[in-house]
Amino acid sequence: DLKLTFLGPNQSTKLLILIHTFKLDALNAHFSPGTKKMEYKTRQWHEKCFCCVVCKNPIGTRSFIPREQEIYCAGCYEDKFATRCVKCNKIITQGGVTYKNEPWHRECFTCTNCNTSLAGQRFTSRDEKPYCAECFGELFAKRCTSCTKPITGIGGTRFISFEDRHWHNDCFICAQCKTSLVGKGFITDGPDIICPECAKQKLM
Protein backbone atom coordinates (compact mmCIF):
# COMPACT_ATOMS: atom_id res chain seq x y z
CA ASP A 1 0.00 0.00 0.00
CA LEU A 2 1.14 3.54 -0.75
CA LYS A 3 1.63 5.65 2.31
CA LEU A 4 2.19 9.36 2.02
CA THR A 5 3.66 11.39 4.84
CA PHE A 6 3.02 15.10 4.66
CA LEU A 7 6.29 16.92 4.92
CA GLY A 8 7.12 20.39 6.01
CA PRO A 9 7.67 23.35 3.60
CA ASN A 10 11.41 22.70 3.36
CA GLN A 11 10.81 19.14 2.15
CA SER A 12 8.19 19.84 -0.53
CA THR A 13 10.65 18.94 -3.32
CA LYS A 14 11.29 15.57 -1.70
CA LEU A 15 7.53 14.88 -1.64
CA LEU A 16 7.19 15.62 -5.37
CA ILE A 17 10.10 13.28 -6.16
CA LEU A 18 8.52 10.50 -4.09
CA ILE A 19 5.17 10.83 -5.86
CA HIS A 20 6.81 11.03 -9.31
CA THR A 21 8.93 7.94 -8.58
CA PHE A 22 5.84 5.99 -7.46
CA LYS A 23 3.98 6.82 -10.68
CA LEU A 24 6.84 5.58 -12.83
CA ASP A 25 7.35 2.47 -10.70
CA ALA A 26 3.70 1.58 -11.34
CA LEU A 27 4.54 1.50 -15.05
CA ASN A 28 7.66 -0.63 -14.46
CA ALA A 29 9.85 2.26 -15.59
CA HIS A 30 11.74 3.57 -12.60
CA PHE A 31 13.50 6.90 -13.09
CA SER A 32 15.93 7.98 -10.42
CA PRO A 33 16.04 11.69 -9.68
CA GLY A 34 18.28 13.43 -12.21
CA THR A 35 18.01 10.59 -14.72
CA LYS A 36 17.65 11.68 -18.34
CA LYS A 37 14.41 10.58 -19.90
CA MET A 38 12.67 10.91 -23.27
CA GLU A 39 8.99 11.77 -23.52
CA TYR A 40 6.58 11.51 -26.43
CA LYS A 41 2.91 12.20 -25.83
CA THR A 42 2.05 10.16 -22.72
CA ARG A 43 4.94 7.71 -23.00
CA GLN A 44 8.34 7.89 -21.31
CA TRP A 45 11.66 6.11 -21.88
CA HIS A 46 15.12 6.03 -20.41
CA GLU A 47 17.40 7.79 -22.89
CA LYS A 48 19.18 4.52 -23.77
CA CYS A 49 15.83 2.71 -24.19
CA PHE A 50 14.42 5.19 -26.70
CA CYS A 51 15.61 3.24 -29.76
CA CYS A 52 14.51 2.51 -33.30
CA VAL A 53 12.54 -0.75 -33.37
CA VAL A 54 14.48 -1.91 -36.47
CA CYS A 55 18.15 -0.91 -36.10
CA LYS A 56 18.04 -0.65 -32.28
CA ASN A 57 20.14 2.53 -32.34
CA PRO A 58 19.21 5.21 -29.77
CA ILE A 59 17.12 8.00 -31.28
CA GLY A 60 18.73 10.71 -29.16
CA THR A 61 18.05 14.09 -30.76
CA ARG A 62 17.54 12.65 -34.26
CA SER A 63 14.17 12.83 -35.98
CA PHE A 64 11.91 9.81 -35.55
CA ILE A 65 8.57 8.57 -36.85
CA PRO A 66 5.99 6.82 -34.64
CA ARG A 67 3.85 4.09 -36.22
CA GLU A 68 1.22 2.42 -34.08
CA GLN A 69 3.09 1.61 -30.85
CA GLU A 70 6.56 1.51 -32.39
CA ILE A 71 9.26 4.13 -32.95
CA TYR A 72 11.39 4.24 -36.12
CA CYS A 73 14.38 6.37 -37.04
CA ALA A 74 13.80 8.23 -40.33
CA GLY A 75 16.12 5.96 -42.32
CA CYS A 76 14.56 2.69 -41.18
CA TYR A 77 11.04 4.06 -41.65
CA GLU A 78 11.83 4.96 -45.26
CA ASP A 79 13.40 1.56 -45.91
CA LYS A 80 10.39 -0.25 -44.51
CA PHE A 81 7.38 1.86 -45.52
CA ALA A 82 8.30 4.46 -48.16
CA THR A 83 6.91 4.17 -51.70
CA ARG A 84 9.50 2.81 -54.13
CA CYS A 85 9.72 3.16 -57.89
CA VAL A 86 8.86 -0.12 -59.64
CA LYS A 87 11.65 0.48 -62.18
CA CYS A 88 14.69 1.57 -60.11
CA ASN A 89 13.46 0.48 -56.64
CA LYS A 90 14.54 3.82 -55.14
CA ILE A 91 12.32 5.83 -52.80
CA ILE A 92 9.89 8.32 -54.39
CA THR A 93 10.18 11.43 -52.24
CA GLN A 94 7.85 13.70 -54.23
CA GLY A 95 5.62 13.62 -57.28
CA GLY A 96 5.81 10.44 -59.28
CA VAL A 97 3.53 8.64 -61.73
CA THR A 98 1.13 5.74 -61.22
CA TYR A 99 0.81 3.24 -64.08
CA LYS A 100 -1.00 -0.10 -63.78
CA ASN A 101 -1.44 0.76 -60.07
CA GLU A 102 2.33 0.82 -59.62
CA PRO A 103 4.49 3.85 -58.61
CA TRP A 104 7.22 5.27 -60.86
CA HIS A 105 9.57 8.26 -60.67
CA ARG A 106 8.60 10.69 -63.43
CA GLU A 107 12.09 10.33 -64.91
CA CYS A 108 11.82 6.51 -64.83
CA PHE A 109 8.47 6.36 -66.63
CA THR A 110 9.81 6.24 -70.19
CA CYS A 111 9.01 4.68 -73.55
CA THR A 112 10.12 1.04 -73.65
CA ASN A 113 11.68 1.57 -77.07
CA CYS A 114 13.25 5.05 -77.20
CA ASN A 115 13.39 6.00 -73.46
CA THR A 116 11.58 9.31 -74.05
CA SER A 117 9.84 10.51 -70.86
CA LEU A 118 6.12 9.69 -70.93
CA ALA A 119 5.12 11.81 -67.92
CA GLY A 120 2.41 14.18 -69.12
CA GLN A 121 2.57 12.76 -72.67
CA ARG A 122 0.19 10.61 -74.71
CA PHE A 123 1.23 6.97 -74.68
CA THR A 124 -0.15 3.49 -75.12
CA SER A 125 0.92 0.02 -74.05
CA ARG A 126 1.58 -3.40 -75.48
CA ASP A 127 2.30 -6.52 -73.41
CA GLU A 128 1.99 -4.35 -70.27
CA LYS A 129 4.85 -2.09 -71.44
CA PRO A 130 4.41 1.65 -72.16
CA TYR A 131 5.33 3.17 -75.54
CA CYS A 132 5.23 6.72 -76.86
CA ALA A 133 2.76 7.25 -79.72
CA GLU A 134 5.50 7.48 -82.32
CA CYS A 135 7.26 4.24 -81.36
CA PHE A 136 4.02 2.34 -80.97
CA GLY A 137 2.97 3.39 -84.45
CA GLU A 138 6.30 2.46 -86.00
CA LEU A 139 6.54 -0.88 -84.24
CA PHE A 140 3.00 -2.23 -84.03
CA ALA A 141 0.34 -0.17 -85.80
CA LYS A 142 -1.44 -0.94 -89.06
CA ARG A 143 -0.33 1.23 -91.97
CA CYS A 144 -2.56 3.38 -94.10
CA THR A 145 -2.85 2.01 -97.65
CA SER A 146 -2.85 5.55 -99.03
CA CYS A 147 -0.17 7.48 -97.09
CA THR A 148 1.69 4.48 -95.56
CA LYS A 149 1.85 6.22 -92.15
CA PRO A 150 0.88 4.30 -88.99
CA ILE A 151 -2.74 4.19 -87.85
CA THR A 152 -2.35 4.30 -84.08
CA GLY A 153 -5.87 4.98 -82.85
CA ILE A 154 -4.34 7.20 -80.14
CA GLY A 155 -6.39 10.31 -79.40
CA GLY A 156 -9.52 8.86 -80.97
CA THR A 157 -8.09 8.56 -84.50
CA ARG A 158 -10.71 7.00 -86.78
CA PHE A 159 -9.93 4.69 -89.66
CA ILE A 160 -11.57 2.44 -92.25
CA SER A 161 -10.75 -1.21 -92.91
CA PHE A 162 -11.70 -3.16 -96.03
CA GLU A 163 -10.49 -6.71 -96.57
CA ASP A 164 -6.79 -6.54 -95.59
CA ARG A 165 -6.38 -2.82 -96.24
CA HIS A 166 -6.71 0.16 -93.88
CA TRP A 167 -7.02 3.94 -94.32
CA HIS A 168 -7.03 7.01 -92.12
CA ASN A 169 -10.43 8.70 -92.36
CA ASP A 170 -8.85 11.64 -94.20
CA CYS A 171 -7.05 9.30 -96.62
CA PHE A 172 -10.17 7.33 -97.60
CA ILE A 173 -10.89 9.26 -100.81
CA CYS A 174 -11.65 8.54 -104.44
CA ALA A 175 -8.43 8.01 -106.41
CA GLN A 176 -9.89 10.03 -109.29
CA CYS A 177 -11.81 13.02 -107.93
CA LYS A 178 -10.43 13.01 -104.36
CA THR A 179 -13.92 13.12 -102.84
CA SER A 180 -14.15 11.63 -99.33
CA LEU A 181 -15.69 8.16 -99.38
CA VAL A 182 -16.29 7.96 -95.63
CA GLY A 183 -19.84 6.70 -95.12
CA LYS A 184 -20.40 6.38 -98.88
CA GLY A 185 -20.37 3.58 -101.43
CA PHE A 186 -17.14 2.87 -103.31
CA ILE A 187 -15.72 0.52 -105.90
CA THR A 188 -12.28 -1.09 -105.95
CA ASP A 189 -10.22 -0.55 -109.06
CA GLY A 190 -7.10 -2.66 -108.58
CA PRO A 191 -5.15 -1.05 -105.74
CA ASP A 192 -7.38 2.06 -105.87
CA ILE A 193 -10.83 2.88 -104.54
CA ILE A 194 -13.12 5.14 -106.54
CA CYS A 195 -16.53 6.67 -106.09
CA PRO A 196 -19.51 5.33 -108.13
CA GLU A 197 -19.55 8.45 -110.37
CA CYS A 198 -15.91 8.05 -111.38
CA ALA A 199 -16.50 4.31 -111.91
CA LYS A 200 -19.30 5.11 -114.37
CA GLN A 201 -17.09 7.51 -116.29
CA LYS A 202 -14.36 4.87 -116.57
CA LEU A 203 -16.85 2.44 -118.12
CA MET A 204 -18.09 4.96 -120.71
pLDDT in tens, 69-94: 888 888 888 888 888 899 998 888 78
Q: Contact 153/159 with Cβ under 8 angstroms?
A: yes
In a domain, 203, yes or no: no
The Cα–Cα gap between 53 and 29 comes to 18
pLDDT in tens, 181-192: 988 889 888 888
In a domain, 117, yes or no: yes
In a domain, 28, yes or no: no
φ, ψ at 58 (rounded to 5°)? -60, 140
In a domain, 13, yes or no: no
The Cα–Cα gap between 118 and 112 comes to 10
| Host domain of residue 118 | 97-138
Count the neighbouring beta carbons within 10 Å of the beta carbon of residue 151: 22
Tens-binned pLDDT, residue by residue, of the chain (204 aa):
333 333 444 444 343 333 343 333 334 457 777 677 777 777 878 878 888 888 988 887 777 878 888 888 888 888 888 888 999 988 887 878 988 889 999 999 999 999 999 988 888 888 889 999 889 888 888 888 888 888 876 555 678 888 888 898 889 999 999 999 988 889 888 888 999 999 888 876
The Cα–Cα gap between 108 and 123 comes to 14
- Look up the CATH number of the domain holding residue 127: 2.10.110.10
For the chain, what is the domain count?
A: 1
In a domain, 152, yes or no: no
User: What is the reported pTM?
Assistant: 0.49
In a domain, 121, yes or no: yes
